[in-house]
């Protein structure tokens, strides 16, 4: 583990807080606008007003919100003339990626030896782990972009792209879980997909829109290919959102990233998110057409989540015959485990997260946190850097269930 002074650790915690706060704020703005425009696109109806048709409006929507009425309209191609004020949606995307990468740098790249590397998974140098992590971000975008440009045309183009991208994500999830600590692997797979989402905006959606605007200002015909490409990448982004959000939140759940087949856990939960997102996208269209909701997509996603939950469920104490006969450990036995496995980060010199565990009284006072982090979530020790065993976790569980602290 990286040795740092309490003041330096405190400064990094502040950087973590502020970057995480900013990242969540701008991500809400980006995801919100993305979801809104996908819904809007799928909810537009052809205008009945002949004047709107003459202006080139292909679809419109009437909505009420915040005490007012709104009438957004979408033009077929481009309007005949540009308005004086044209709002561009791109800073939400750029800000999300920039704050996310900064947070990833502060937490994972800067502390690669602690957060990226689990020597029981793959023992390598921090420098090698950092380069490999950056390679995941760049490599996925390059492969995904190549697939979209070469295979994403025609009626079946999106299906082909979807199948290829799914295969790459599965491969990346497997590889990441063979190379990195579990929680870092989950986050890294989400980060590589999020990088592709922002790159779609930066390299395709916004440049295409700028070319349309430039052509209109020059009085030249607008090539519809720019709108088609932008729409394609925007639709891809909406299917990435729920899988990426799970990957970003997964570091709180050690039972997921710490599982023996953690790569498969990641793939299945991300797939469930994509299926649930498909339900909402399809639902937008069926609402306009007056057709029944496509509940099959939602049921498939929820069913998959339930299946994973059953698969990962821990064995009950009744199913472990040794638990009934094993005597509850005393505090001296618990302190022996905690001293070996936890005190390296929770001592008088480095009270990580404000928690000290170097005396019996402090162990007793933090019994709930010890049980929650080391037994239930299996999130601590971080990446199991100190090598806590399953038997030691079971000992902590018996101690907690027996009253947590009786000497």
pLDDT tens digits, 206-235: 999 999 999 988 889 889 899 889 999 999
Secondary structure (3-state) at 40: helix
Q: What is the DSSP string of 307-352?
A: HHHHHHPPPPGGG-HHHHHSPPP-HHHHHHHHHHHTTTTBSSS-BG
Mean pLDDT of the chain: 89
Q: How far apart are CA 176 and CA 196, in angstroms?
A: 17
Give pLDDT, residue 61.
94
What would the two tokens of residue 315 be?
């064995």
> 33: closest CA among 269, 197, 270?
197
Average pLDDT on 2-13 reads: 70
302's CB contacts (< 8 A; 6+ apart) are: 272, 276
Give residue 308's pLDDT: 97
CB atoms within 10 A of CB 237: 23
Whether the pLDDT of residue 406 is over 70: the answer is: no
**What per-residue confidence (pLDDT) applies to 2?**
46
Per-residue model confidence (pLDDT) at position 1:
42
Long-range contacts of 140-147 (CB under 8 A, 24+ apart): 140/168, 140/172, 140/192, 140/193, 140/195, 140/196, 141/192, 141/195, 141/196, 141/199, 143/168, 144/168, 144/196, 145/196, 145/199, 145/203
Residue 70 β-bridge partners:
63
pLDDT digits (tens, 9 = 90+) for 104-159: 999 899 889 888 998 889 999 999 999 999 999 999 999 999 999 999 887 788 89
The pLDDT of residue 353 is 72
Instruction: Dig out the tokens for 109 from the structure.
Output: 């790249």
Q: Are 387 and 341 in contact (CB under 8 A)?
A: yes
């Amino acid at each position: 583990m990286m040795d740092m002074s309490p003041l330096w650790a405190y400064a990094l915690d502040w950087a973590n807080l502020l970057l995480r706060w900013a990242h969540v704020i701008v991500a809400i703005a980006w995801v919100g606008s993305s979801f809104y425009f996908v819904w809007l696109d799928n909810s537009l109806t052809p205008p009945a007003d002949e004047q709107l048709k003459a202006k080139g409006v292909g679809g419109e929507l009437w909505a009420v919100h915040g005490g007012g009425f709104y009438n957004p309209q979408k033009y077929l191609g481009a309007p005949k003339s540009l308005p004086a004020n044209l709002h561009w949606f791109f800073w939400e995307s750029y800000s999300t990626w920039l704050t996310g990468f900064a947070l990833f740098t502060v937490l994972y790249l800067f502390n690669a030896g602690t957060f990226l590397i689990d020597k029981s998974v793959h023992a390598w140098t921090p420098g090698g782990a950092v380069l490999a992590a950056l390679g995941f971000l760049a490599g996925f975008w390059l492969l995904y972009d190549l697939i979209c440009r070469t295979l994403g045309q025609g009626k079946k183009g999106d299906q082909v792209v979807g199948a290829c991208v799914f295969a790459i994500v599965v491969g990346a999830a497997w590889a990441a879980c063979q190379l990195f600590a579990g929680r870092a692997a989950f986050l890294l797979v989400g980060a590589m997909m999020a990088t592709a989402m922002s790159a779609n905006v930066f390299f395709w959606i916004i440049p295409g829109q700028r070319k349309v605007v430039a052509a209109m200002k020059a009085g030249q015909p607008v090539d519809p290919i720019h709108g088609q490409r932008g729409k394609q990448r925007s639709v891809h982004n909406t299917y990435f959102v729920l899988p990426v959000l799970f990957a970003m939140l997964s570091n709180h759940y050690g039972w997921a990233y710490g599982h023996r087949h953690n790569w498969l856990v990641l793939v299945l939960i991300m797939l469930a998110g994509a299926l649930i997102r498909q339900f909402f996208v399809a639902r937008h269209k069926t609402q306009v057409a007056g057709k029944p909701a496509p509940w099959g997509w939602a049921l498939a996603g929820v069913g998959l989540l339930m299946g994973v939950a059953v698969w990962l469920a821990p064995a009950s104490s009744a199913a472990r015959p040794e638990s009934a006969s094993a005597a509850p450990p005393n505090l001296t036995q618990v302190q022996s485990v905690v001293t070996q496995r936890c005190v390296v980060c929770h001592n008088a010199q480095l009270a990580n997260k404000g928690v000290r565990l170097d005396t019996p009284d402090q162990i007793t006072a933090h019994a709930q946190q010890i049980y929650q982090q080391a037994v239930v979530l299996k999130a601590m020790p971080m990446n199991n850097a100190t090598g806590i065993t399953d038997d030691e976790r079971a000992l902590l569980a018996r101690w907690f269930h027996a009253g947590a602290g009786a000497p």
